[in-house]
Amino acid sequence: MKAKRARASTRPPKRGKRAENKEKTKRAILHAALELFAQNGFYQTTTSAISRKAGIAEGTLFNYFETKEDLALYFFEQELAGIIEWYHGNRRVEAAPLPEKLFAIIHHLLERLGPYEDFIGAVYLRALRPTSKLSPLSLQAQEQNLRYLRFLRGLLDEAAADDEIPRLGDFGAYAFGLFQLAVITYWLQDRSADKEQTLALLDRCSKVAVAILKRGGWEW
């Protein structure tokens, strides 16, 4: 899992050595933080513990992440970018019919998030505070989402070009984003073995959703 995580990086735009080093440090900090979150929980983990674990001065940590929330934001940015990269490198999924494609994307996301379940649960609660940087109202969070939503929109546009579904515009991407959020929420509280209830829900919903879209479901 760890090896996979290291591979799954964003495609950074070309930049200098300094920026590269900076990115490296950020990832090292995130890596250290995630380990501590898994061990002690999100709230119990202090920034000094994170900096110790990452082998940097606490002051340096603040140069990269002002708060633990910034760390969480960075985590999701990395994961969502990882999904996009995974998708474009995966012939099988790219060629699959839309219901399978949607299933595969969310399933892959859940697989990646698997090891960090407690942390994500904590972040979800945190995001409910309107003043939190993680809140859907925060511009920082919205900027991040935008990139992912564009990716989703591209995917639905492709399906529309292939006549799999009618053209949905931005609305389709938002709807899918919300659906993904709902599935993650369900997944967080799914106590069945291997979270198979989530798998069944995801399978049924992605089939039903595409079936509704095919019928031009938005009209009624």
Partner 1 sequence: MVNKPSRAGALSRGFRLGKLGLTLTGSYLGYQAQNLLLGENEQRQHRFQQASSQRVRQELGSLKGAVMKLGQFLSLQTRILPEAAIRELAALQMQAPPMHPTLARARFKTSLGRLPEEVFRSFDEEPFAAASLGQVHHAVTRAGEKVAVKIQYPAMRQAIESDFQTLRTAGFAARLSGHLDESVIREVERGILEETDYAKEAANVEFFAKALAPLDFVRVPKVLREFSSDRVLTMSHVPGLRLQDFLETRPSQNLRDKLGERLTRLFFFQLFRVQALHADPHPGNYLLNDDGAIGLVDFGCVKHLKPEVVRCYAQFWSREWVHDPGLYAEIIRVIFGPKVSPAEPRARRCMNEIRRFYDEFHPLDKAPKPLDLADAKFMDGLARLAKVLVKNKFLSPEFVFLSRTESGMCNLLHILQARVATTQIARQWMPATR
Q: Which residues bind partner 1 (CB under 8 A)?
A: 92-93, 96-97, 99-100, 103-104, 107, 186, 189-192, 194, 196-197, 199-201, 203-204
Q: Which is nearer to partner 1, 106 or 149 (CB)?
A: 106
Q: What is the 3-state secondary structure (H, E, C) of the chain?
A: CHHHHHHCCCCCCCCCHHHHHHHHHHHHHHHHHHHHHHHHCCCCCCHHHHHHHHCCCHHHHHHHCCCHHHHHHHHHHHHHHHHHHHHHCCHHHHHCCHHHHHHHHHHHHHHHHHHHHHHHHHHHHHHCCCCCCCCCCCHHHHHHHHHHHHHHHHHHHHHHHCCCCCCCCHHHHHHHHHHHHHHHHHHHCCCCHHHHHHHHHHHHHHHHHHHHHHCCHHHC
Shortest spacing between CB 10 and partner 1, in angstroms: 24
Closest CB to partner 1 among residues 5, 26: 5
- Minimum separation from the CB atom of position 194 to partner 1 (A): 4
* C-beta closer to partner 1: residue 134 or 205: 205
Q: How far is the CB of 138 from partner 1 (least distance, A)?
A: 25
The distance of closest approach from Cβ of residue 207 to partner 1 in the complex, given in angstroms and rounded to an integer, is 9
| Residue closer to partner 1, measured from CB, 37 or 82 | 82
